[in-house]
């Protein structure tokens, strides 16, 4: 008793340790897959990781709007400063130089405001404005956003500038930038107002541009393998150790068979299709009891059944009926009748089963059934005989005579008792072993079968039977199969779920 208790306790502790190991590995796979998804979505979502702002640009026909306006700030710091190196992303020189010129212009204007007597600042501001006009025209003509596949961003910049200068999105974007970077525009619309417009509307769009070099393999630089390598090594060691352990624990299972046993873990070791690591992730989370796949599996299977049950039911049933019809058309019924008439009957046990079954049923009826139902049977016969007598014209004329009604009752009861007794005795005769009776019964059965087969061999009868069976099957297809295929499968599944709940 003590040894058994110790063994059970040791097994429970081992199971708990195994479960904790499964949980740790499942969480490690979850962390790795989160990094994989982040890496795969980094380029498409880099604008968000750069500025931490959320804004949706909607354009439906003539309707255009940015929602919300201004953008909603979510991230407190740019993630790009920590992750751009993974993708090999660098600042694009032309656009970075353009923004540096704007920064220099802001510094010169601030210095001009703080030192109004310094006339050299005026010339510096004018030189910076001229450079910005030239750089703006070059930016529009050269389209430095094309390398990062962000030509749409340049279009938004041009539209914003045209709308700001011309109050419409038509016109020359080059002319709009040329007008914007002038002293006259700053004096007309306000220096601070114009610079704030650029910093809030234009600068964030220009900042999203970047340069990503191409590696020797012809693909853009991607250093994610350096991040994924530690996970790969852990998964590889765990896979080799686990499969080796499985091959040792199970007889007849080779190491390669054990690897196939854990086929889903192979996706953790393939760097080209990292997104498929969702498969081992889900399986491991379920094995570690961090998620419950039973409900999901049940709903998925029920959805699958609901989707194909109707088609399968109709196809299978119609196919069966078509096969039966084909067999009939090929003469299966005719061949069956002919064969039964020609071939000799083979008796495997020297027993006439038909006669024995008849006697067995008679024995059951005479000894068990008839004595039990005699009161109800006599009452039934008495009622029907009395009813027949009362409807007879001759009896109706005698009914009013004294003593006739009581005589009718006595006669009826006697007749019913005699009939029931005769029936019982007749059935009892079947229980008596009678060779002559058996021979006559067998001759009757054989004669009936032979006559039936002979008459059915008539061409007209066979053809009529085949036509009727085919017509019946066609009606079944049209009426019942169609009705079955249009049955509400969801109701059937609901009934199935209700039955399962009752069983549980």
> Do 377 and 420 contact (CB within 8 A), yes or no?
yes
Distance in angstroms (rounded) separating the CA atoms of residues 392 and 270: 99
pLDDT score of 95: 94
pLDDT greater at residue 109 or residue 65: 109
User: Is pLDDT of 486 > 50?
Assistant: no
Minimum mean pLDDT among 244-248, 310-314, 401-405, 419-423: which range? 401-405
pLDDT score of 217: 84
pLDDT score of 346: 57
User: Is pLDDT of 68 > 60?
Assistant: yes
pLDDT tens sequence across 126-183: 999 999 999 999 999 999 999 899 999 999 999 999 999 998 878 899 999 999 999 9
pLDDT score of 342: 46
Residue 14: which of 268, 357, 249 has the closest Cα? 249
pLDDT tens sequence across 105-129: 999 988 887 776 666 778 889 999 9
Q: What is the dihedral of CA 338, 339, 340, 345, to 10 degrees?
A: 150
pLDDT band at 468 (very low <50, low <70, confident <90, very high): confident
pLDDT band at 4 (very low <50, low <70, confident <90, very high): low
Those residues with Cβ within 8 angstroms of residue 368's Cβ, 6 or more apart along the chain or in another chain: none
User: Is pLDDT of 496 > 90?
Assistant: no
What DSSP state is assigned to residue 148?
T
What DSSP state is assigned to residue 367?
I
Sort strands 63-73 and 53-60 into parallel, antiparallel or unpaired. Answer: antiparallel
Predicted TM-score of the model (pTM): 0.60
> Do 284 and 268 contact (CB within 8 A), yes or no?
no
- Judge residue 338's burial from the number of C-beta atoms within 10 Å of its C-beta, 0-12 exposed, 13-18 middle, 19 or more buried: middle
């Amino acid at each position: 008793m003590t040894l058994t208790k110790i063994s059970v306790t040791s097994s429970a502790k081992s199971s708990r340790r195994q479960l904790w190991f499964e949980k740790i590995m499942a969480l490690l796979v979850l962390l790795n897959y989160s990094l994989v998804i982040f890496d795969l979505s980094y380029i498409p979502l880099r604008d968000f990781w750069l500025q931490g702002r959320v804004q949706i640009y909607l354009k439906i026909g003539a309707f255009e709007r940015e929602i919300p306006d201004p953008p909603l700030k979510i991230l407190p710091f740019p993630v790009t400063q920590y992750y751009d190196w993974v993708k090999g992303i660098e600042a694009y020189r032309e656009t970075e130089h353009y923004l540096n010129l704007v920064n220099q212009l802001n510094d010169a204007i601030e210095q001009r405001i703080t030192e109004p007597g310094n006339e050299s600042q005026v010339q510096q501001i004018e030189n910076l404005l001229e450079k910005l006009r030239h750089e703006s025209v070059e930016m529009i003509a050269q389209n430095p956003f094309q390398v990062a596949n962000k030509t749409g961003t340049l279009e938004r910049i041009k539209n914003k500038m045209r709308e700001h200068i011309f109050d419409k999105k038509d016109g020359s974007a080059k002319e709009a930038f040329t007008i914007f970077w002038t002293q006259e525009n700053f004096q007309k619309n306000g220096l601070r107002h114009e610079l704030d417009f650029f910093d809030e509307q234009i600068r964030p769009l220009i900042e999203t541009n970047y340069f990503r070099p191409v590696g020797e393999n012809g693909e853009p630089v991607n250093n994610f393998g350096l991040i994924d390598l530690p996970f790969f090594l852990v998964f590889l060691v765990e896979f080799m150790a686990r499969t080796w352990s499985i091959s040792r624990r199970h007889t007849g299972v080779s190491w390669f068979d054990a690897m196939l046993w854990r086929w889903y873990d192979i996706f953790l070791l393939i760097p080209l299709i990292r997104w498929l690591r969702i498969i081992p992730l889900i399986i491991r989370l379920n094995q570690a009891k961090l998620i419950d796949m039973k409900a999901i599996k049940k709903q998925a299977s029920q959805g699958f059944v609901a989707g194909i049950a109707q088609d399968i039911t109709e196809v299978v049933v119609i196919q069966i009926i078509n096969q039966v019809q084909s067999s009939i058309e090929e003469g299966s019924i005719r061949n069956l009748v002919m064969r039964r008439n020609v071939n000799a009957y083979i008796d495997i046990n020297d027993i006439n089963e038909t006669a024995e079954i008849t006697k067995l049923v008679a024995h059951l009826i005479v000894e068990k059934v008839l004595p039990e139902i005699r009161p109800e049977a006599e009452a039934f016969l008495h009622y029907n005989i009395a009813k027949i007598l009362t409807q007879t014209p001759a009896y109706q004329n005698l009914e009013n005579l004294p003593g006739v009604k009581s005589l009718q009752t006595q006669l009826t009861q006697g007749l019913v008792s005699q009939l029931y007794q005769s029936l019982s005795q007749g059935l009892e005769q079947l229980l008596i072993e009678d060779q002559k009776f058996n021979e006559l019964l067998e001759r009757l059965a054989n004669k009936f079968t032979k006559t039936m087969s002979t008459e059915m061999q008539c061409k007209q009868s066979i053809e009529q039977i085949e036509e009727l069976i085919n017509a019946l099957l066609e009606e079944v297809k049209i009426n019942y199969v169609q009705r079955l295929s249009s049955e509400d499968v969801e109701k059937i599944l609901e009934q199935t779920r209700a039955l399962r709940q009752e069983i549980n």
